[in-house]
Amino acid sequence: MHKVLLADDHDLVRETIAAYLRQQTDLIITTAKSFDEVLDMCLSGATFDLILLDYSMPGMNDLGGLKKIKDFPGNPVAILSGTATPDVARRAIKSGAAGFCPKPFHRNP
């Protein structure tokens, strides 16, 4: 089983993405509604196969949140955003993000 932490401050977005991901058979989805919740989980020793962080979530401070979470080994981070520019996506990858996922998502048929 793969463990994913999905962090987004918008309830509808977070729960919709989580519901979709939970349909996948090998994923355990944990959600967080704030960057502070993510940080608390990491500080308590929780590890995930992937952390999905909303770029514009309070506490992220541009890519500062990514840098804080990267201090906890074993937690690859991908950034989610519906507003970030391509430059932000490039900076996220250069800063160590495992990926960049633009919102909204489009499912291929």
pLDDT tens digits for range 54-97: 999 999 998 999 999 988 888 999 999 988 889 999 999 999 99
Beta bridge partners of 54: 80
For 2-102, which CATH class? alpha beta
8 Å CB contact between 33 and 14 = yes
Q: What is the Cα–Cα distance from 24 to 13, expressed in whole angstroms?
A: 18
**pTM of the predicted structure, to 2 decimals:** 0.89
Residue 95's pLDDT is what? 93
Q: Tens digits of per-residue pLDDT, 98-108?
A: 999 887 665 55
Instruction: Please check the confidence at residue 109 and state whether its pLDDT lies above 70.
Output: no
